Amino acid sequence: MPDRRLTILGLGLLAACAFFLFWGLKGPAGFILELRATKLAALLLVGAAVGISTVVFQTVTGNRILTPSIMGFDSLFLLVQSLMVLTMGGLGYVMTDGPAKFLLDTGLMMAASLMLFTLLMGRGRGDLHRMILAGVIIGLFFRSMTAFVLRLIDPSEFSVVQQVMFASFGAVDTTQLAIAAVLFLAVFAAIWKLAPALDIVALGRDSAVGLGLRYDRLAMVLLLLVSALVAVSTALVGPISFLGLLVAALAHEVVKTPRHVLLLPAAALIAGLVLVIGQGVFERLLGLQSTLAVIIEFFGGLLFLYLVMGGRRR
Amino acid sequence: MITVRNLSHRIGSAEILHDLSLDFPKDGITAIIGPNGAGKSTLMGLMARLVPIQTGKVEIDGHCVAKTRTEALARRMAIVTQRVGVASRLRVGDLVGFGRWPHHHGRPRDEDHAAVERALAAFDLTELRDRFLDELSGGQNQRAFIAMGLAQETDWLLLDEPLNNLDMYHARALMARIHALSREGGRSVVMVVHDINYAAAWADHIVALENGRLAFEGAPREVLTAERLSRLFGMEIGVEEIGGRPTVLHHA
Amino acid sequence: MSRPLLLTCLALAGLVLASVSIGAASVSPWHLLSDPEGTKLLFLSRLPRTAAAMLSGASMAVAGVIMQLLVRNRFVEPSTTGTVEAAMLGLLAVTMLAPGVPILGKMGISAAAALLGMAGFLALIRRLPPEEPLMVPLVGIIYSGIIGAGTTFVAYQADLLQYLGTWMNGEFSGVLAGRYELLWLAGLVAGLAYLYADRFTIAGLGETASIGLGLNYAQTLWIGLVTVSVVTAMVVVTVGAVPFVGLVVPNIVARIMGDNLRASLPVMAGMGAGLVLASDVLGRILRFPYEIPAGTIFGAVGAAVFLWLLLGPKRRAR
């Protein structure tokens, strides 16, 4: 890629990956390396999915504060999961593991998020703060609904869902990873093809229609792709609310152009960097386990406050 | 009498009032006029102890505003400010009822109820008494708050732009009401007015501010001249006498 | 007695009856009184549990409305303004640093932390433009999230996550005589707030109107904030936070009978007590013989009501 900033980001990410893989490696390395490689792949995949989905989402909704997870998309995913356990029972849920379940998840997720989105856009359009607040409350609502549904589930089946409830890069299943990767690549290819159109979408609905774009249909398609990406990342590691916000803000800061051909890869690379370095530092240097999500929550929250309090409002 | 002595006020580096000294005579209506940013609302806020006094002194019937207890001041003067909107959901009757709070602090007596009734009736609010404030129009809201100030039944009534949001009918009704109060009820009223003609028609005394200083003061007939007003507002203003009152024409 | 208050009392009485007669041990209402075992159950577990649910519901509703009047925003309550999270952080700190402190001391430190948390929130929203009332709850929720994330991090490092779990989720199944009496104190504090009902209502009109009426605004503000933080801390310490009670109840009651606290505060307290008790009873029935925490049920219902208030037909922010 010719762009200098992307090259630097890419090199940085490579270095971070190397650090993550080889730091403190000793003794029979083969097994540990394999474990680390799986985790690294998961981090990169989740980073790319979160980064890209957030940038696209913000472009379509025309704001820089709202992200899919702040609006409760990933809580929605968890709700869908626990509802599935409730209706099919823990055994049925486990039985449908594999590609079929992944596709079912994603399909349900896309349908549900579409409903969520039309509700919010229909009622809240033109009032950004009402929309953001409603999104945040919807997130809270899904979370408490999930907690409620979990309590309805038989305690013996509880552990089945529990593992998807909390963001953790600890244990990632390789088959799941492979399926997620395939799905991600398919979605990414679709978004990449639409990247030039995204530049026009970013101008807002009126200008986009004026320039001859079939805006409403395109926005729908983009949002469907976004929810697929959210499904991918949440299925893999669980919810990380503020990562997307953090990454999208950084990507806009680094690239400083509204061109999505640059923005999208930048967001993916930055997200990868944040996750790999963060997880690496936490695991290798500090010896802490899987608290990265909490830290991201903390700093992402601060950034959100800064953005909302008028640092840079749009 | 309200006496203002050497009153200065700054907000940041901006000087809002500059060494202002003047008297507000007891009885009758005093109207404060002046262009935007002259310091009218600040003066009002300082007199009503809404804003702490920085330098200078304000006395109300001999009581220093800075030193008198706020509860005691609330029995001496009522202030109604410009409204930004109220978050709480109160009935009109309750709101006006709170005007008596300085007198009973939670244990209303018959005379308090009677005062509320009078205030409600004075502003045509008796029928609206059970309506919630957030279900009223801006003008009705404004009247409810003025009625609350009235129910306080204090010697002094301070009104900051009371005519905002009021249509011509209610603006005149309000002025007539205030005028009657100052005549029969022995109240003294100080109000900030934007429309000079209302000041000319109803006020007994005019105080004109300009850039935080006193521009002129006196009886309307004497001070509301074309020359003075033109200088005050920086534009050509004509004054005609209609019906024995000076009438200001902005299209002179 | 006003009609809403009468209805609330009647509903409460019914709920109390249901609450004492429903539980894991199936004892008929008759046996509760005649049989010595039954009486023991009644006084050791059922009655305390019922009282705990009612006290926490009532006091949280009161805390919520006081907060709404002082902040002058309809969409705030202790759990959306960092107060609950700060109380937990204080509690966590004292549990880690001085585990030997008696419960009242813990409560005090937790209340102080809650007060600090609220002060931080007030400092934040002072910088918000007044014409954007929806920013206030938004900033509050994120602010809560930040404090919550910090608390989780500390708890995780200190291996105290289960504690956090119990404080976060209001549950009454563990309530026994001798373990919940602090809540009576919370109820008492909330009850004392009634003496200040007029002052809080006036404070809700804003600072200038309050001063105009000769109210000591700063004093009223502080009394209100202390009330809210003490109530929040006590509820969090004894049974765990019940989210949204302070938001949902005052909003519903204010729609019907307005914000004159002198009239509405008893109804709000009664309704808060009733709704939390109802959630608790429901939690006992829904998944019998397992139990669903009342906080979980109320969280789901409360969030839905919040959404309805926000997007519902009467779209008024104030």
CB-nearest partner of A294 from C132, C149, C299 = C149
Whether residue C211 lies within 8 A of chain B, CB to CB, comes out as yes
Task: Give the CA distances from residue C83 to residues A20, A265, B205, C220, in Å, rounded to whole numbers and listed in that order.
Answer: 39, 40, 52, 19
Homologous superfamily (CATH) of C59-311 is ABC transporter involved in vitamin B12 uptake, BtuC (1.10.3470.10)
The whole-angstrom distance between A188's CA and the closest CA on chain C is 31
Contact at 8 Å (CB) between A285 and C130?
no
SS in 3 state form for B4-64? EEEEEEEECCEEEEEEEEEEECCCEEEEEECCCCCCHHHHHHHHCCCCCCCEEEEEECCEE
Contacts of B84 in chain C (CB under 8 A): 130, 206
Task: Identify the pLDDT of residue A312.
Answer: 41
Tell me the residue ranges of DSSP E strands in A135-246: none
- Structural domain spans, chain C: 59-311
Contacts (Cβ under 8 Å, ≥6 apart) of C234: C59, C107, C111, C182, C183, C185, C186, C189
Q: What is the pTM assigned to this prediction? A: 0.82
Contact at 8 Å (CB) between A74 and A165?
no
**In this model, does residue C129 exceed pLDDT 50?**
yes
Segments in chain C forming alpha helices (H): 3-21, 29-34, 36-41, 47-71, 83-97, 103-125, 135-157, 161-168, 182-192, 197-203, 207-212, 217-238, 245-257, 261-286, 294-311
CA distance linking residue A69 with residue A76, whole number of Å: 9
Contact at 8 Å (CB) between C302 and C244?
yes
Give the residue from chain A lying closest to C309, CA to CA: A134
CB-nearest partner of B85 from C204, C259, C318 = C318
Task: Identify the pLDDT of residue C24.
Answer: 65
Task: Identify the pLDDT of residue A205.
Answer: 76
Mutate which: C131, C134, C142, C152, vs A, most A CBs within 10 A: C142
CA angle C288, C293, C297 (to 5 degrees): 95
**In this model, does residue A152 exceed pLDDT 60?**
yes
Beta B14-24 vs B205-210: how paired, if at all? unpaired
Contacts of C209 in chain B (CB under 8 A): 81, 145
| Residue closest to A15 by CA, chosen among A286, A280, A264, A291 | A280
Tell me if the bond preceding A155 is cis, omega within 30° of 0: no
Contacts of C128 in chain A (CB under 8 A): 309
* Helix/strand/coil for A260: helix
pLDDT digits (tens, 9 = 90+) for C43-80: 888 899 999 999 999 999 999 999 999 998 888 999 88
Region A160-185 average pLDDT = 72
The whole-angstrom distance between B246's CA and the closest CA on chain C is 34
The whole-angstrom distance between A120's CA and the closest CA on chain C is 9
CB-nearest partner of C135 from A137, A295, A308 = A308
CA distance linking residue A13 with residue A7, whole number of Å: 10
The whole-angstrom distance between C158's CA and the closest CA on chain A is 12
Q: Which residues of chain B are under the pLDDT cut of 50?
A: none
Contact at 8 Å (CB) between A309 and C127?
yes
pLDDT digits (tens, 9 = 90+) for B182-225: 888 789 999 999 889 999 999 999 999 999 999 999 999 889 98
**In this model, does residue C316 exceed pLDDT 60?**
no
Task: Identify the pLDDT of residue C25.
Answer: 67
> Alpha carbon A66 to chain centroid distance?
13
From chain A, which residues contact C within 8 Å (Cβ)? 123-124, 127, 129-130, 132-134, 136-138, 140-141, 144-145, 147-148, 151-152, 155, 241, 288, 291, 294-295, 297-298, 301-302, 304-305, 308-310
Among A85-94, A283-292, B35-44, B121-130, the minimum mean pLDDT is found in A283-292
Cβ <8 Å between C296 and A144:
yes
**In this model, does residue A261 exceed pLDDT 80?**
yes
